[in-house]
Amino acid sequence: MKISARQYAQCLYELVSSESEDKIKKILPKFVVLLEKHRALSLAPAVIAAFTEIWNKEHGEVMAELTSARELKSEAKEMIVDYLKNKSGATEVILDEQVDQNILGGFVLKYNNKIVDASLRSSLESLKNSLKA
Amino acid sequence: MSNTKDFIVNQLKEEISGFKAEVSEKSVGRVLKVSDGIALVSGLSEAMMSEILKFKTEHGEITGVALNLEENLVGAIVLGDFTAIKEGDEVHATKRILEVPVGEAVIGRVLNPLGEPLDGKGKVETNQFYPVEKIAPGVITRASVKEPVQTGIKAIDAMIPIGRGQRELIIGDRQLGKTALAIDTIINQKGQNMKCIYVAIGQKESKIANIVAKLTEAGAMEYTTVVLAGASNPASLLYIAPYAGCAMAEYFCDKGEDVLIVYDDLSKHAVSYREISLLLRRPPGREAYPGDVFYLHSRLLERACKLNKDFGGGSITALPIIETQAGDLSAYIPTNVISITDGQIFLEPDLFYKGNRPAVNAGLSVSRVGSSAQIKAMKKVAGKMRLEAAQYRELAAFAQFGSDLDEDTKNKLERGKRLYEILKQDQYQPLSVAKQVIIYYSLINSLLDDVAVDDVRTFEAGLYKYADLNDEVLNLITERKELDEEIEIKIKKLVSDYKATIE
């Protein structure tokens, strides 16, 4: 049977989740050897991605990408973090902030395959569409 | 001038102040791969089966439908120009199952399978939508088929009667008049309290333009909708076309009306579904069709129904068409659809080239609903006539060997020849039941025996014209739907009167 990247990641997570750092240092090389033995090293990037996802889910962390036209004030950021915690039930939010002048104003928030588009650019576009119709 | 300017400025201000930018959470994914009308999309973890997806491309939005849901992937068919979609494009889930506009507004229109206009008459003005895929009505809601669909084609109405709510397959090789049969049936529905939907799947658009022109000329577009997925449309549109047409039909059926729907043709539909399935990497089976082609057609044709009084009493009559290759009825798709439908009308090349048009093979064609879907008058004449036809076929085969025949056999052969003359009918000339009853009555009661075989058709045409002028008999048959003694005498009188006029 072919083992998927997700299954490797799940396995790795179960191995390391309740171990101390010393133990983990020993486990990791063995895991890599296992991958090599299964000729599955090409799956490594997928395994890493899946591992992060599983870890975040188990630890109540959520990764989010926040794009804004200008650097946001900390109060605004806090509100967004609160919103995310509310929506996803996570206890911790890891924000990846970016500044993109192209969205003109407001912000675009992406997390877990979801998107909240509160940018000036998209609202201008929908205004354009509503005027056209 | 300034008034106009002020007006425009004020209008604009109003529009803008009324506009509210809505911010809502959307489920998004990204295109991983596009090929041949199929897109693989990552993300979209909450996508539903047959949910509408919107691809955001540089050339605007393109609609797609989720068809394969996997762990991390969604396989979608693209309904539109897939070449505009690029790898990495954003895909939005709409939380809406694929649906089409339905309502009175679709009547008289030519639409694509998404309900968008193809006739240049503007958007379909309706706010009602029906899902394209729907489970067929269950047992409790149904009633038995007993009202007739008058096709206006002599050979069919007498020998292979079709009832409202029946599924009757029209099958035959190319160029034998399968579509002609269906179009004549639609034309004949005028004033019969029937809505018609013609679904063209993979047909040449020139052919459809002809058909629409013909229907308009005959006044049939007043109750007809054409759903067109042409030969140049992607397979995905061809695939959803019959379901979209059926959804439009269901609206009228739910209102208690009768609908006739023609699927022209289901072999091309199966081919387009095979294309989609193979591109989605579903395993191929016999003739490379996927395992669920049977379900593909059975779920479509099962939606044809006759509802009982408690559920409105509406009906959907389905006339699927199948094109065979060199008369091969035992290929995969023909056998499947024959087994699903309640009978078939088999068109034969030999008959067609002999000049017997419509080339209906009376032996191989059946209607499993039978005579319960005929008016009493027709039942009375059709029974004898069917017997007559069967005897003729048998005798004609024997008679080829010798010329020494007794009087009785000769008579039967002569009558048979006249019968086959009567079964001939020109295209776009559907005939009312009353006239059919008159001609069949004349035949089985030896009223045509003194007309030469070659003159039967001219005699027939003249008789109809004469009957139109003296329409008492026609009205009586239409009214009573029965063949009582009074009417029988009147028919005899009509025929002899007509004979007198031509002498």
At A92, the pLDDT band (50, 70, 90 cuts) reads confident
Region B48-59: what's the mean pLDDT?
91
CB A114 to CB B16 under 8 A?
no
Structural tokens at position B294:
């049977």
**pLDDT score for A56:** 84
Q: pLDDT higher for B184 or A88?
A: B184
Region A22-41: what's the mean pLDDT?
89
Q: Which residue in the block uniquely carries the two structure tokens 């759903």?
A: B227
Q: Does B16 touch chain A (CB under 8 A)?
A: yes
pLDDT surpasses 70 at A6: yes
Task: Give B28's contacts in chain A (Cβ within 8 Å).
Answer: 110, 113-115
At B303, the pLDDT band (50, 70, 90 cuts) reads very high
CB A114 to CB B25 under 8 A?
yes
Considering only CB atoms, B21 lies closest to which of A6, A110, A123, namely: A123
Q: Does B43 touch chain A (CB under 8 A)?
A: yes
**pLDDT score for A133:** 66
According to DSSP, the residues that pair with B324 across neighbouring strands are none
To the nearest whole Å, the CA of B45 is away from the closest chain A CA by: 7
CB A117 to CB B23 under 8 A?
yes
Catalytically annotated residues of B: 368
**pLDDT score for B46:** 86
pLDDT surpasses 80 at B332: yes
Q: Which of A5-14, B21-30, B239-248, B445-454 has the highest mean predicted lDDT (pLDDT)?
A: B239-248
In 10 A of CB B372, how many CB atoms?
A: 14
Lowest mean pLDDT among B22-26, B222-226, B234-238, B468-472: B22-26
pTM of the model as a whole:
0.88
At B402, the pLDDT band (50, 70, 90 cuts) reads low
To the nearest whole Å, the CA of A124 is away from the closest chain B CA by: 8
Residue B15, C-beta contacts closer than 8 angstroms, at least 6 positions apart: A130, A131
According to DSSP, the residues that pair with A65 across neighbouring strands are A96, A110
Give tens-digit pLDDT for B68-99: 998 889 999 999 889 999 999 999 999 999 99
Disruptive mutation site among B13, B20, B23 for chain A (greatest number of A CBs within 10 Å): B23
Give the count of Cβ contacts less than 8 A between chain A and B.
Answer: 37
The HSE-up count of residue A8 (CA atoms within 13 Å, CB side) is 25
CB B26 to CB A123 under 8 A?
no
Task: Give A49's contacts in chain B (Cβ within 8 Å).
Answer: none
CB distance A11 to A30 below 8 Å: no
**pLDDT score for B442:** 93
Q: Does B137 touch chain A (CB under 8 A)?
A: no
Q: Using CA coordinates, name the residue in chain A closest to B11.
A: A131
Give tens-digit pLDDT for B333-389: 999 999 999 999 999 999 999 999 999 998 889 998 878 889 999 999 998 898 888
At B1, the pLDDT band (50, 70, 90 cuts) reads low
To the nearest whole Å, the CA of A21 is away from the closest chain B CA by: 32
Distance (Å, whole) CA B421 – CA B449: 13
Q: Does A133 touch chain B (CB under 8 A)?
A: no
CB A115 to CB B26 under 8 A?
yes
Give tens-digit pLDDT for B403-416: 677 888 888 888 99
Distance (Å, whole) CA B359 – CA B425: 10
